[in-house]
C-alpha cells in the first residue's frame, strides 16, 4: 500500500452521522470567523456542539433545521475557549482557499438524525 493511503478498515473507524442543526451563532474570540453550532444526532448520540468556519457561505438563521454530516467519534477540541465535539463536514468550493460549503443529505423524509454514513 502506498504511503498516505487509507484502508477500508481505516474508513470504518470514522463514525459519520447525519445531524440536524438546532442553533447557530457567531463564535466570539475565534481567530477566523466561525459559528458555534448545536446539532441533534438522534437518540444514540444526542446533541453535540461544533465550531465551523462557514460564515462566508451561511447566515446563522439559514443553518437552523439543515441536515449536515459530522464525525462524532473524534476527540473534542477547544476553539476560542469553546468545546467543539464534532467535526462538521464541508468542502472548499473552488479549491483549498475557497469558501467552505457544508455536506449533507438532501432533505428527505427517510433521513433521520443519527443515520450513519455507510
Give residue-wise pLDDT tens across range 83-110: 999 999 999 987 777 799 999 998 778 9
Task: Please indicate, yes or no, if residue 117 is contained in any of the structural domains.
Answer: no
Percent of the chain predicted with pLDDT > 70: 97
| Average pLDDT rounded to a whole number, residues 30-58 | 96
Helices marked H in 1-118 — which ranges?
A: 8-13, 42-45, 60-63
User: Which among 79, 72, 66 has a CA at the least distance from the CA of 20?
Assistant: 66
Total count of domains within the chain: 1
Give residue-wise pLDDT tens across range 53-72: 999 999 999 999 999 999 99
Full residue range of the structural domain in which residue 42 is found: 8-102
Task: Please indicate, yes or no, if residue 108 is contained in any of the structural domains.
Answer: no
Task: Please indicate, yes or no, if residue 116 is contained in any of the structural domains.
Answer: no
Task: Please indicate, yes or no, if residue 110 is contained in any of the structural domains.
Answer: no
Task: Please indicate, yes or no, if residue 38 is contained in any of the structural domains.
Answer: yes
The contacts of residue 43 (CB under 8 Å, 6+ apart) are 114
Amino acid at each position: 500500500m502506498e504511503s498516505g493511503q487509507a484502508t477500508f478498515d481505516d474508513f470504518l473507524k470514522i463514525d459519520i452521522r447525519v445531524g440536524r442543526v438546532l442553533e447557530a451563532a457567531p463564535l466570539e474570540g475565534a481567530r477566523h470567523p466561525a459559528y458555534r453550532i448545536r446539532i441533534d444526532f438522534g437518540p444514540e448520540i444526542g446533541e453535540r456542539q461544533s465550531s465551523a468556519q462557514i460564515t462566508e457561505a451561511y447566515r446563522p438563521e439559514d443553518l437552523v433545521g439543515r441536515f449536515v454530516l459530522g464525525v462524532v467519534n473524534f476527540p473534542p477540541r477547544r476553539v476560542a475557549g469553546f468545546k467543539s465535539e464534532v467535526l462538521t463536514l464541508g468542502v472548499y468550493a473552488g479549491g483549498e482557499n475557497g469558501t467552505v460549503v457544508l455536506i449533507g443529505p438532501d432533505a428527505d423524509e427517510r433521513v433521520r438524525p443519527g443515520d450513519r454514513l455507510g
